Structure 1
Amino acid sequence: MGFHEVRGEAPVGSFQIALIGLASFCIITALLIIGVFKQRKRRGRAEDALKASEQRYLRALAGSTDGLWDWDIRSNTVFYSDRFREILGYTPEDFPGAIDFFRSRLHPEDADPVWAAVQSHLQQRVPFKMEYRLKTKSGEYLWFLARAQAIWETEGNAVRMSGWIQDITENKQNELNLKAALSEIDGLKTKLEAERAYLQDEIKFEYNHENIIGRSDGLKYVLYKVEQIAASDTTVLILGETGTGKELVARAIHGLSTRKDRALVKINCATLPSNLIESELFGHEKGAFTGAHVKQLGRFEVADGTTLFLDELGELPFELQPKLLRVIQDGEFERLGSSRTIKADVRIIAATNRNLEDEVRKGRFREDLWYRLNIFPITVPPLRERKEDIPLLVDFFVHKISRRLGKSIESIPTAVMNELQNYHWPGNIRELENVLERAVINSSGPKLRLADELEKPHRDLTPARKTLDEVEREHIIRVLDMTHRKVSGKDGAAEILGLDRSTLRARMRKLGIRQP
Structure 2
Amino acid sequence: MALYQWHIIGLATFCAIATLLFVRLLIQRSRHGRSKAALRISEERYLLALAGSTDGLWDWDLLSNTVFYSDRFREILGYSSEEFRGTIDSFRSRLHPEDAEAIWAAIERHLQERDPYKVEYRLRTKSGEYLWFLARGQAIWSTEGKAVRMSGWIQDITERKQGELNHKAALSEIKELKEKLEVERAYLQEEIKLEYNYENIIGQSDGLNYVLYKAEQIAPSDTTVLVLGETGTGKELVARAIHGLSPRKDRVLVKVNCATLPSNLIESELFGHEKGAFTGAYARQLGRFEVANGATLFLDEIGELPLELQPKLLRVIQDGEFERLGSSGTIKVDVRVIAATNRNLEDEVRRGRFREDLWYRLSIFPITVPPLRERMEDIALLVNFLVDKISKRLGKTIENIPTSVMNTLQDYQWPGNVRELENVLERSVINSSGPKLRLVDELKQPHQELTTTQKTLEAVERDHIVRILEQTNWKVSGKNGAAEILGLNRSTLRARIRKLDILQP
TM-score bracket, normalised by the shorter chain, equals: over 0.9
| Separation of aligned partners in 1, 2:313 and 2:116 | 55
User: Cα distance, 1:39 vs. partner?
Assistant: 6.2
Contact 1:460 1:466 in 2 (8 A): no
Report how far residue 76 of structure 1 moved: 2.1
Alignment partners' CA distance in 2, 1:515 and 1:124: 81
1:459 lines up with 2:448 in the alignment: yes
Aligned to 2:71: 82
Does the alignment pair 1:283 with 2:272? yes
Matches within 5 A, 1:143-158: 143-158=132-147
**Alpha-carbon distance in 2 for matches of 1:463, 1:24:** 153
> After superposition, where does 1:346-425 map in structure 2 within 5 Å?
346-425=335-414
Q: List aligned pairs for 1:73-472, cutoff 5 A.
A: 73-125=62-114, 127-457=116-446, 459-462=448-451, 465-472=454-461
1:485–1:515 Cα contact (<8 Å) kept: yes
1:449-474 deviation per Cα after TM superposition (whole angstroms, max 9, x unaligned): 21100023353423761011111111
Amino acid at match of 2:173: E
Contact 1:422 1:457 (8 Å CA) reproduced: no
Indicate whether 1:504 and 2:480 are aligned.
Answer: no
2:133 counterpart letter in structure 1: F
Deviations 1:102-133 (A, max 9, x none): 22221111122222222222244354211111
Aligned position for 2:47:
58
Return the offset for 1:153: 3.2
Aligned-partner SS, 2:493: helix
Would the alpha carbon gap of residues 286 and 374 (structure 1) be closer, same or farther in structure 2, given more than 3 Å must change? same
Counterpart CA distance in 2 for 1:134 and 1:98 is: 15
Tell me the secondary structure at the aligned position of residue 165 of structure 1: strand
Q: How far apart, in 2, do the equivalents of 1:156 and 1:46 lie?
A: 24
TM-score after normalising by structure 1: 0.91
Letter in 2 for 1:139: G
- For residues 276-318 of structure 1, give each alpha carbon's deviation from its aligned partner in whole angstroms, at most 9, with x where no partner exists: 1111111111111111111111111111111111111110001
Task: Give the 3 Å change call, closer, same or farther, for CA 471–489 of structure 1 in structure 2.
Answer: same
Measure the CA separation in 2 of the matches of 1:406 and 1:175: 59
Q: What letter matches 1:416 in structure 2?
A: V
Q: Shift of residue 428 of structure 1? A: 0.2
Amino acid of the residue matched to residue 400 of structure 2? Answer: S
| Percent pairwise identity | 78
Equivalent pair of 1:422/1:456 in contact (CA under 8 Å):
no
Q: Distance in 1 between matches of 2:124 and 2:134?
A: 14
* Residue deviations 1:88-112 (CA, integer Å, cap 9, x gap): 2222222233223322221111122
| Contact 1:61/1:81 (<8 A) preserved | yes
Asked if the contact 2:412/2:447 (under 8 Å) is kept, the reply is no
* CA RMSD after TM alignment: 2.7
- 1:210 partner SS: helix
Q: Report the equivalent of 1:493.
A: 482
The question of whether the paired residues in 1 share the 8 Å contact of 2:119 and 2:134 is answered with yes
Between stretches 40-49 and 174-183, larger displacement belongs to 40-49
Moved more, 452-461 or 64-73: 452-461
Name the SS of the counterpart of 1:203 in structure 2. helix
Deviates more, 1:500-509 or 1:191-200: 191-200
Deviations 1:154-213 (A, max 9, x none): 443322222222221121111111111111111111111111122223333332432211
Alpha-carbon distance in structure 1 between the residues aligned to 2:95 and 2:312: 41
Change (3 A) 1:30 1:159: closer
User: Once structures 1 and 2 are overlaid, which stretch shifts more, 147-156 or 335-344?
Assistant: 147-156
Question: How many angstroms apart in 1 are the aligned matches of 2:452 and 2:170?
Answer: 59
Moved more, 156-165 or 475-484: 156-165
Given that residues 94 and 124 in structure 2 are in contact (C-alpha distance below 8 angstroms), is that contact kept between their aligned partners in structure 1?
Answer: yes
Distance 2:452 2:300 in 1: 24
In structure 1, what is the equivalent of residue 3 of structure 2? none
Residue 104 of structure 1 aligns with an amino acid whose one-letter code is: S
Q: One-letter code of the match for 2:344?
A: N
- Map Cα deviations across residues 230-279 of structure 1 (whole Å, 9 max, x no partner): 11111111000000000011111111111111111101000110011111
Q: Which residue of 1 aligns with 2:56?
A: 67
Contact 1:431/1:498 (8 A) holds in 2: yes
Aligned counterpart, 1:6: none
**CA deviations over 1:19-67 (Å, ceiling 9, x no partner):** 9999999999998888777766666655554444334323322221222
CA separation in 1, counterparts of 2:307 and 2:393? 42
Q: Distance in 1 between matches of 2:111 and 2:485?
A: 82
Stretches of structure 2 that go unaligned for 5 or more consecutive residues are 1-5
Q: Is contact 1:300–1:346 with CA below 8 Å preserved after alignment?
A: yes
2:116 and 2:355 map into 1 onto residues whose CA distance is 64
Greater Rg by CA: 1
Structure-2 separation of matches of 1:40 and 1:239 = 109
Number of residue pairs the alignment of both structures matches: 505
TM-score (norm 2): 0.93
State the AA in 2 paired with 1:423: Y
Measured against aligned partners, the alpha-carbon deviations of 1:451-502 in whole angstroms (never above 9, x if no partner) come to 1000233534237610111111111111111011111011100111111111
Deviation larger for 98-107 or 465-474:
98-107
